[in-house]
Amino acid sequence: MRINSWIYLVSLLLLWSCDDEPIVTPPADDSLEDIAYDPQAVILDIGNPLFPILEIPDDNPLTVEGIDLGRHLFFDPILSIDSTTSCASCHLQQGSFTDNKAFSNGVGGIEGKRSSMSLLNVGFNNRGLFWDGRVMTLEEQALLPIEDPLELQHQWPDVIEDLINHEQYPEKFRKAFGITNKSEITKELAAKAIAQFERSLISSKESRFDRILMGLDVFSDEERLGFEMFTDFYQGNNPDIPDAQCFHCHDQPLFTNNDYENNGLDFIISVDDFIDQGLGGITGIQGDKGRFRVPTLRNIEFTAPYMHDGRFETLDEVIDHYVSGGFYSPTKSAFLDSINLDNTQKQALKAFLLTLSDQKFLENPDFSNPF
């Protein structure tokens, strides 16, 4: 009783003395210092010598605790205005982190302008993100969906407040980043954690294609023919095997060169007429209009519909598009030209594409919803 009345008196005095100054010291019960901070470094198991080095920013090293926090945030609808939608609503593990829709739906079902992108091997996309390359890093990217009116429609200050008042997140932020008080939770730390989780989404050694290269499996005759056409294995020296030109843009081992190309989707006379200008909409350069990021073909079996606007439902339609050489437009790539493939050869090309499937990626418990 006595102590309590002392505290009461002291606080009254404090209140009185700090009349018009805000109280700066955060409340003691928001301290996180009692929780151990001992992050465990993660070295990703790429297991494929052909793969490039995964570039990781110096100020955001991968840790078990960081990836765990990022995974929770990625799957948590707490990031959306009405707690209905999360990153994972449009990036589903079973769709290789796409949503299998032509146009994604944000909060309230509102329809976006482009098709969701696979996040498989997204950490290797080092020449800009999104179909038009408008941001460079995963840390920058992860900030955007929260306030996007077509996606999560929320405001960061409100999200941060919810995270600070949450039962588990303050502890997770402490363990991942060593913050000493709940008030140190920021959107930048949330984005760092999400980026860490995304960098862990790797498919590099479990597809049949990878296993074939490692000598653990073999191509069927049909798949081998597809591979030879895709990669121009004979470099034009075997007239019986047409060159399908695919590897120029969908190069091994990532099956994307991460560049921006126009693969002839629309007949356009003037570059200003592209409905979606892609890279050119960002750079303003005429020669960039109608060019889009070359997507990976790994797990292509699971990411339909295809292209930035989801216009093709099936791989057969995609192959027919390339065989036709696509439509004229001023920025169309010179690698797009009609290819003389008969039905057997088209099927072989598709059979090869299906060797890029990695079912284990879709079922990996480390990538699944933690809630």
Residues forming the site for ligand HEC (CB under 6 A):
74, 79, 85, 87, 89-91, 104-106, 112, 114, 116-117, 119, 122, 125, 129-132, 138, 141-142, 145-146, 151-152, 194, 198, 244-246, 248-250, 261, 263, 265, 292, 294-295, 297, 300, 303, 306-308, 318-319, 322, 333, 335-336, 349
**Residue closer to ligand HEC, measured from CB, 220 or 324:** 324
Residue of 37, 65, 61 whose CA lies nearest to 139: 61
Residues in the chain: 371
* Complex with ligand HEC: residue 170 or 326, whichever CB lies closer: 326
Q: Which is nearer to ligand HEC, 32 or 322 (CB)?
A: 322
Provide the minimum distance between the beta carbon of 49 and ligand HEC in the complex, in angstroms, as a whole number.
Answer: 24
Q: CA 64, 66, 67 angle in degrees (round to 5)?
A: 65
Cβ distance to ligand HEC smaller for residue 179 or 300? 300
Minimal distance, residue 312 CB to ligand HEC, in Å: 7
- How far is it, in rounded angstroms, from Cα 267 to Cα 295? 21
CB distance 201 to 45 below 8 Å: no
Measured CA to CA, the distance from residue 173 to residue 190 in angstroms comes to: 8
CA distance 346 to 323: 8
To ligand HEC, the closest distance from the beta carbon of 9 in angstroms equals: 48
Closest to 244 (Cα-Cα) out of 314, 317, 342: 342
Cβ distance to ligand HEC smaller for residue 206 or 259: 259
Residue 268: which of 198, 327, 325 has the closest Cα? 327
Report the alpha-carbon distance of residue 164 to residue 266 in Å, rounded: 48
CA angle in degrees (0–180, nearest 5) for 289-294-296: 160
Q: How far apart are CA 92 and CA 60, in angstroms?
A: 25
CB of 87 to ligand HEC, least distance (A): 3
**Interacting residues of 156 by C-beta distance below 8 A, sequence separation 6+:** 143, 146, 147, 187
Q: Whose Cβ is closer to ligand HEC: residue 112's or residue 253's?
A: 112
C-beta closer to ligand HEC: residue 33 or 320: 320
Q: CB of 278 within 8 A of CB of 289?
A: yes
Instruction: Please say which residue, 81 or 119, places its beta carbon nearer to ligand HEC.
Output: 119
